[in-house]
Amino acid sequence: MLETISATIFTAFTFVVILFQGCLAAGAPWGKASMGGKYPGKYPLKMRFVAVLNMLILAFMSAIVLSEANLLFPQLNSISSIGIWPIVIFFIFGTIMNTITPSKIERIWAPVALIQFITSLIIAIK
């Protein structure tokens, strides 16, 4: 039960981040809330491709989490028990980086990353 709730919360929060990255890729002027605020306003073309890549990586992370929680993607079960740990580590660093970023607006992502860390850790240690 806790795994199901954790995987659902992880996926919901990750979906929000994917939507944000999609908006950046589409040209939304929200660059100040990402990448330490290095690209205020609209992302340059190269960074829009990075945002799309981020979307794909985050979607794959969600698939691994959902697989490890035995909710979806059983074909990933062979790699999810190992793949969950890099996700946990990624969100440890994500929480830290979003906490210490020079961009004040980007710090809104710190609680999101913290929740993703906690929920992925719950699934990893089940």
pLDDT at 37: 94
Segment (H or E) for 104: none
Q: How many CB atoms lie within 10 A of CB 121?
A: 19
The DSSP annotation for 54-92 comes to HHHHHHHHHHHHHHHTTSS-GGGHHHHHHHHHHHHHHHH
What is the pLDDT at residue 125? 96
Contacts of 45 (CB under 8 A, 6+ apart): none
Does the pLDDT value for residue 113 go beyond 90? yes
* pLDDT at residue 126, rounded to an integer: 83
Query: Which phi and psi angles does 71 have, rounded to 5°?
Result: -100, -40
Rounded to two decimals, the pTM is 0.94
Neighbours of 17 (CB within 10 A): 20
- Given a contact cutoff of 8 angstroms between Cβ atoms, the answer to whether 94 and 57 are in contact is no
Condensed to tens digits (0 to 9), the pLDDT of residues 68-86 reads 999 999 999 999 999 999 9
What is the reported pLDDT for 9?
Answer: 98
Task: Quote the CA–CA distance of 18 and 75 in Å, as a whole number.
Answer: 23
pLDDT tens profile 25-59:
999 999 999 999 999 999 999 999 999 999 999 99
Share of the chain above pLDDT 90, in %: 99
Contact present, 113 and 95 (Cβ < 8 Å): yes
Residue 115's pLDDT is: 98
